[in-house]
Amino acid sequence: MIRNFIALFLLVVLYSANAYSSGDIIKSIIIKNNKRVEEATIASYLDLKKGDKFDQEKINSSLKKMFDTGLFSDLSVSRKGNNLIVNITENPIINKVVFEGNKRIKDTDLLGEISLQSRSVYTKTKIRDDTNKIRALYRRGGRFAVEVEPKIIKLDQNRVDLIFEITEGKKTTVGKIYFIGNERFDDEKLSKLINTKVSRWYSFYNNNDSYDPDKVAYDKELIRKFYISKGYADFEVTSSTAEITKDKKSFILTFTLEEGDKYKFGELTIESEIEEIDTSELYNRIVTIPGKTYNADLVDTSLNNMTSSLNDEGYAFINVSTELDKSEDDNTISLIYKIQESPKVYINKINIFGNIRTLDKVIRREFRVSEGDPFNAAKIRRSKQRIRNLGFFDNVEIKNEPTDENDQADINVEVAEKSTGELNFGAGYSTNDGALGNISLRERNLLGKGQDLRLDLQRSQSGLSINTGFTEPYFMDKDISLGFNVWNFTSRRQNNATSSVDSSGVSLRASYSLLEHLRHSIYSTLKEERVTNIKNGSSAIVRSQAGKTQAVIFGQSLMYDKRDSKYTPTEGYYIYLDQKIAALAGDLRYVRHELKTGYYKPIYKENVILKLTASAGYMTGYSGKNVRFADNFQLTGRKIRGFSNIGFGPTDQASSTGSILGGKRYYVQSTEIGFPMPIVPDELGLKGFVFHDMGAITDADAANRSQIIDENNLHASAGAGLSWTSPMGPITISYAEPYLRDSYNKIKRVQFDFGTRF
């Protein structure tokens, strides 16, 4: 009996081994039960075709390839005679995706996070992955108690509706943060460094009190960078743990630190393998100084400075590295800067990720390098800065990725888009304009093309203004910006003004780059102005210019901008020159020049910023025409704080109102230091500033010069203030004491600006 069983078993094994014998030829391939996927598509996944020999390995690989497509929930391949039978069960198609219970996160944001969409193929693996993605999105916002339950509603024609039932739960905040091993700096100091904060009553203002593992990882890097900037080269965050409390309402976050010894810079030398390079010139690019506290940031800055300098000299393929020599005897770190000719690397591809709305070309056109160009670190850094200056992204990261070719590298750009559309309803108060309200509609990235469209309507005690404008930043995909503005402004006489000046007009403008940081603009303006509502007792000069005036103005400007950011600069400078001429068919004839400049520099750490600004202007009439008082320069209370809106300048002493006329020449200089407020948490956005303003204005045209007080005296003030980026909008208050002034000047020591959006 046993002998017969063994014989039968061997017979089955031999039959199986030869079931797909190499001598058997596939006569036909029969596909069964497919309803949506074409037979030709299924056949393309098979490694076998009609006329091939049966091969079990190829059948297995075919099954794997078909499963990997995600189109099928079940597959089998069998043989019937010389026919290959493929039985399939198709995955259903998703009809629609629905979210229920989500209040904190919009449907559109959730849809952007998951891979399953309407008309995509449903698979259990994707359901599981998308469920985890939704949980992760909520947890990044601090809601660790979130529950996500996917449900399927079957429809006809192998379709399904996918419903994610979400129970958001309460926010799980950070209750306490502990630091272990810190002897050099206390917990309060380290707590201010990191982005994660302990939950406080004011935490509604931002989301920094929520626990996020990615944010904690970044916090570890912030602590490390701080310590090595203070000389602790051996510093290490050995661990970071987060424990949730029993009530699941908060996390306890603990950082364990190993500080190590403090080091200073030792000897500094430069070694170059390239004989043509004059290393003596490069020592001027080094910011690490022997005897000073070791700071890894200064080492990086020196490397970047030297690399940029060598790139500018034509050494595109260069590598500057450092060799550190630690001496524990005297706690110094000597540095050898080594210059080597790196392998010639070219840019293979520029890949862009994370831009859902913004077109690729909007980002690509800001690059200073192109695919196929030599790799240039300095130009890539500049490209990153230009992309940030677009103002379309919360974050921009550029990384280099090696390819299979040794002489080529990819550039991967990762962006995180932010909202660029604004619909604002505003209300507020300004000491210069009084009570005000505004409606503003703006899209800074229209249709993802980088175009800027805006409409502003503002009503205040000083008047009503309507302004609309459009800018195309890259006309015909060239570095030429074109735009226009149309406006109408109706004013009311306010404070010290002697009249109302209403204005309406249209302006056309264009700009283009002359150099990397130098931009040239040209513009033309057609406007009509009306001087009305003249105050009783006003200057005869003002009364003589009442009525309507038309003007045609042509102008140009040059802007050289080396700031690190044009929105919130902390370092760098700019120089701006504007020139215009009123000519042709209009009633006015004048030439006007104005120069402005600004300089920014951190003077203590990274958050105490020195801001120096200056401006000056000169204008003159021609063809026998004087400059109207309405076209004069005016120094307002915003330019020299402590004075009224139009508080000083050439004044008509013959008028009972003491009409201030403005002038054809002026200069202003302002020094301001901004700093974070002590004790107050940084996340509140409260900052202080101290300032000193000074300037003068002179030279008003008048038929009778004897009645004009025009002494060209220097005016100056000093003061302090607070600015708060509040949840309701920006609030600024300042106090200035005008210590250089004339007896007839108009003073306003306190200035207050408030606005809100709702």
Cα distances (angstroms) measured from residue 501 to each of 411, 619, 628: 54, 20, 12
d(CA 249, CA 169): 10
Q: What is the DSSP letter of 33?
A: S
Query: Which has the minimum average pLDDT: 3-7, 239-243, 341-345, 695-699?
Result: 3-7
CB-CB contact of 548 with 503 (8 Å): no
Q: Is the pLDDT of residue 489 over 60?
A: yes
Instruction: Look at residues 188, 223, 258 and tell me which one is the last residue of a structural domain.
Output: 258
Between residues 312 and 182, the one the model is more confident about:
182
CB-CB contact of 719 with 696 (8 Å): no
Q: Are residues 470 and 520 in the same domain?
A: yes
Q: Is 294 part of any domain?
A: yes
Long-range CB pairs of 501-507, under 8 A, 24+ apart, other chains included? 501/529, 501/530, 501/531, 501/630, 502/529, 502/530, 502/532, 503/527, 503/528, 503/529, 503/530, 504/528
Could you tell me the two tokens for 559? 């802007």
| Confidence bin at 11 (pLDDT 50/70/90) | very low
Q: What is the pLDDT of residue 181?
A: 92
Question: What tens digit of pLDDT does each residue of 162-171 get?
Answer: 999 998 887 7
Question: What tens digit of pLDDT does each residue of 622-636 get?
Answer: 988 888 877 889 887
Q: What is the pLDDT of residue 265?
A: 92
Q: What is the pLDDT of residue 431?
A: 47
Instruction: Look at residues 141, 167, 193 and tell me which one is the last residue of a structural domain.
Output: 167
Mean pLDDT of the 334-363 span: 85
Which helix (DSSP H) or strand (DSSP E) does residue 297 occupy?
helix 296-312
| Confidence bin at 414 (pLDDT 50/70/90) | confident
Enumerate helices (H) and strands (E) in the chain, giving the number of each.
12, 35
Q: Is 347 part of any domain?
A: no
Contacts of 491 (CB under 8 A, 6+ apart): 462, 463, 500, 501, 502
| Confidence bin at 755 (pLDDT 50/70/90) | very low
Which residue range(s) make up the domain with 401? 365-417
Helix crossing, 296-312 with 377-389: angle to 10°? 110
Q: Is the pLDDT of residue 647 over 80?
A: no
Q: Is the pLDDT of residue 654 over 70?
A: no
d(CA 666, CA 635): 8
Mean pLDDT value across the chain: 81
Q: What is the pLDDT of residue 463?
A: 63
Q: What is the pLDDT of residue 54?
A: 80
Q: Are residues 81 and 98 in the same domain?
A: no
Cα angle 258, 260, 263 (rounded to 5 degrees) comes to 145
CATH of residue 291's domain is: 3.10.20.310
Instruction: Look at residues 417, 433, 449 and tell me which one is the last residue of a structural domain.
Output: 417
Query: Which has the minimum average pLDDT: 425-429, 496-500, 545-549?
Result: 425-429
Written as one string, the DSSP assignment of 308-339 is HHHHHTT--S-EEEEEEEEETTTTEEEEEEEE
Written as one string, the DSSP assignment of 39-58 is HHHHHHT-S--TTSBP-HHH
| Confidence bin at 672 (pLDDT 50/70/90) | very high
Contacts of 566 (CB under 8 A, 6+ apart): 389
Q: What is the pLDDT of residue 7?
A: 43
Q: Are residues 47 and 108 in the same domain?
A: no
The bridge status of strand 451-460 relative to strand 83-90 is: unpaired
The number of residues in the chain equals: 758
Q: What is the pLDDT of residue 427?
A: 52
Question: What tens digit of pLDDT does each residue of 87-116 get?
Answer: 887 888 889 999 998 888 888 888 888 888
Q: Are residues 692 and 739 in the same domain?
A: yes
| Confidence bin at 8 (pLDDT 50/70/90) | very low
Nearest to residue 462, comparing CAs of 426, 487, 438, 486? 438
Q: Is the pLDDT of residue 6 over 70?
A: no
Q: What is the pLDDT of residue 548?
A: 82
d(CA 28, CA 50): 5
Helix (H, G, I), strand (E, B) or coil at 532: strand
Nearest to residue 113, comparing CAs of 88, 98, 132? 132
Q: Is 559 part of any domain?
A: yes
Q: Is 502 part of any domain?
A: yes
Between residues 83 and 615, the one the model is more confident about:
615
d(CA 194, CA 364): 33
Q: Are residues 584 and 715 in the same domain?
A: yes
Question: What tens digit of pLDDT does each residue of 550-593 get?
Answer: 889 999 999 999 888 877 788 889 999 999 999 877 888 999 99
Written as one string, the DSSP assignment of 410-446 is EEEEEEEE---EEEEEEEEEETTTEEEEEEEEEEEEE
| Confidence bin at 660 (pLDDT 50/70/90) | confident
Q: What is the pLDDT of residue 422?
A: 59
Question: What tens digit of pLDDT does each residue of 591-614 get?
Answer: 999 999 999 999 987 789 999 999
Q: Are residues 234 and 154 in the same domain?
A: no
Between residues 529 and 505, the one the model is more confident about:
505
Q: Is the pLDDT of residue 15 over 50?
A: no
| Confidence bin at 22 (pLDDT 50/70/90) | very low
d(CA 620, CA 663): 10
CATH of residue 641's domain is: 2.40.160.50
d(CA 65, CA 139): 35
Q: Which of 13-22, 34-43, 48-57, 685-694 has the highest mean pLDDT?
A: 685-694
Q: SS3 helix, strand, coil % of the chain, rounded to 5?
A: 20, 45, 35
Tell me how crowded residue 13 is: count the other CB atoms within 10 A of its CB: 10
Query: Which has the minimum average pLDDT: 48-52, 155-159, 703-707, 713-717?
Result: 703-707
Q: Is 14 part of any domain?
A: no
Question: Rounded to an integer, what is the distance from CA 469 to the centroid of its chain?
Answer: 23
Helix crossing, 296-312 with 213-229: angle to 10°? 90
Q: Are residues 244 and 319 in the same domain?
A: no
Q: Is the pLDDT of residue 47 over 50?
A: yes
Percent over 70 (pLDDT), the chain: 85
Cα distances (angstroms) measured from residue 459 to each of 284, 300, 423, 436, 443: 55, 51, 16, 6, 21
Could you tell me the two tokens for 227? 């310590």
Q: What is the pLDDT of residue 13?
A: 42
Q: Is the pLDDT of residue 745 over 60?
A: yes
Question: Rounded to an integer, what is the distance from CA 239 to the centroid of its chain?
Answer: 31
Q: What is the DSSP letter of 291?
A: T
Q: Are residues 560 and 537 in the same domain?
A: yes
| Confidence bin at 758 (pLDDT 50/70/90) | very low
Q: Is 70 part of any domain?
A: yes
Contacts of 693 (CB under 8 A, 6+ apart): 639, 640, 641, 642, 668, 669, 670, 716, 717, 718, 736
Q: Is the pLDDT of residue 497 over 70?
A: no
Cα distances (angstroms) measured from residue 612 to each of 596, 597, 732, 734: 11, 8, 19, 18
Q: Are residues 159 and 177 in the same domain?
A: no
Q: Is 389 part of any domain?
A: yes
Nearest to residue 628, comparing CAs of 502, 556, 543, 695? 543
Q: Are residues 309 and 456 in the same domain?
A: no
Q: Is 5 part of any domain?
A: no
Q: Are residues 308 and 375 in the same domain?
A: no
Tell me how crowded residue 62 is: count the other CB atoms within 10 A of its CB: 21
| Confidence bin at 379 (pLDDT 50/70/90) | confident
Q: Is the pLDDT of residue 4 over 50?
A: no
Number of compact structural domains in the chain: 6
Cα distances (angstroms) measured from residue 534 to each of 489, 538, 632, 644: 17, 7, 17, 19
Q: Are residues 379 and 526 in the same domain?
A: no
